[in-house]
Amino acid sequence: MRKAISCAALIGVAALVSLPGAASAQQSCTPRPPADTNNETPAIFELRRQFLNPWFMPIAYHSIDSFFETQQVPRGDRSEPLSRAERPLDFSYQFDGRTIPADQMFDRTFTNALMIVKDGRIVYENYRNFTDPRSHFLSMSMAKSITSILIGIAIDHGAIRSLDDQITRYVPELKGSAYDGVTIRDAIDMKSGVDRSDSDQLKPGTVTAQRREDILVRNAIPVVCEALMVGRKAEPGKTFDYSTLNTTVLGWVLERAVKQPLARYTSEMLWQPLGAEASAFWIMDGKGPDAHPFNGLGFNATMRDYARLGLMMLNQGKANGRQIVSARWVEESTGGSHAPTSPGAKMGYQHFWWTIPGQSAYLAIGLAGQIIYVDPATRTVIVKLSYVPLDNKTAMPETMAFLQAASKWARN
């Protein structure tokens, strides 16, 4: 088993490793000065601690830039409007032995906003809880699927040679860590074997919970530094184990490979050619040149622009007449034949996208019910932005029932 190594151990590596456009190991992983030097107060730290609480999520998830550092992802000069053919939600769905009218889904599944797009036209759009078309909604783990698109673009352009490259080819500071011997493919399919599951962060009093406090709340340690603090519990490439840290590491790989900050790359290679109607932003782990994005959970965009992402995927990587990411990458990431993540599981996982075995539909899913649902069979894209309490066990199954009924809903 690989042992965790300390951030301080990297200081000696910093003199040996220096890549163009990338922060040194010392910059990346040396603990920072106290956060109050950035004029952050205990009240801000408490807001960050509480943003997963159900009483705060309905507001926090569309105002995250009020209490986190951010970095803008500028839109381009032109945005093509989405065409419209709106109609009422005149259908129902089946759940738990009941037939439920579609419009009852909103309160039942804690919905902030919903958009349904059929054949490229908006047929339904609704905003709640003080949101509107200008609101920027937190992606949570939908950001992983956006990171996947960016990795596909980097592969298309030759900045990343192959998914089978070792991560240490791009981030040599990780030699000797639990990520030594892990490929990009292992990490993007959540099979790194690293001993760090997302659920561990929510257990009070644990080492992992303290890391969350230091990294996410206080910004005292760069987010990439966590990759040097964990051990290994399984052989790479063998066992599915969902961990946002894998996405964080691949964000680090991306920045090294393309030799520019992730926000700039997202803007130039995705957001501008997509024709987004509003600039987006990433949550950052601090200020200054050594800040890194929380690219596994921290993208923020309008609902219409999330729908544009779904439409680009539906159209095999094309938007505005331009091939943004290759059709090969879209197919490899989202093909519906992928096996379940484990025996008895209902969904598969490939390249940071969730798939439904036996169906064409696939999803970007974020904690608390953030969803981009794409169904090539019915030419449907659905964006649902929510605030589902973490202890709720029924909202997600009911949401899936709603999404599948909405996908089959008549298009004319």
| CA angle in degrees (0–180, nearest 5) for 294-246-307 | 55
Among 118-132, 312-326, 333-347, the least confident range: 333-347
Distance, CA of 140 to CA of 300 (rounded, Å)? 9
Whether residue 7 has pLDDT greater than 90: no
Q: What is the mean pLDDT of residues 174-194?
A: 97
Residues 285-305: pLDDT tens digits? 998 888 999 999 999 999 999
Residues 32-60: pLDDT tens digits? 765 544 567 899 999 999 999 999 999 99
pLDDT of residue 18: 33
Q: What percent of the chain has pLDDT over 90?
A: 81
Q: How confident is the model at residue 342 (pLDDT cuts 50, 70, 90)?
A: confident
pLDDT of residue 80: 85
pLDDT of residue 206: 86
Residues 74-93: pLDDT tens digits? 999 989 899 999 999 999 99
Give the DSSP per-residue string, 343-365: TT-S-EEETTEEE-TTSS-EEEE
Q: Average pLDDT, whole number, for the chain?
A: 90
Residues 206-216: pLDDT tens digits? 888 899 999 99
Environment class of residue 180 by beta-carbon count within 10 Å: exposed (0-12), middle (13-18) or buried (19+)?
Answer: middle
Q: 192: helix, coil or strand?
A: coil
Q: 131: number of CA atoms within 13 Å, CB side?
A: 29
Write down the domain spans for the chain.
7-408
Whether residue 140 has pLDDT greater than 60: yes
Whether residue 9 has pLDDT greater than 60: no
Whether residue 19 has pLDDT greater than 70: no
pLDDT of residue 38: 58
pLDDT of residue 13: 37
Residues 360-378: pLDDT tens digits? 999 999 999 999 999 999 9
pLDDT of residue 8: 45
Q: Are 390 and 61 in contact (CB under 8 A)?
A: no
Q: Does domain 7-408 have CATH number 3.40.710.10?
A: yes
Distance, CA of 379 to CA of 381 (rounded, Å)? 7
Q: What is the mean pLDDT of residues 172-200?
A: 95
- pTM for the predicted model, two decimal places: 0.92
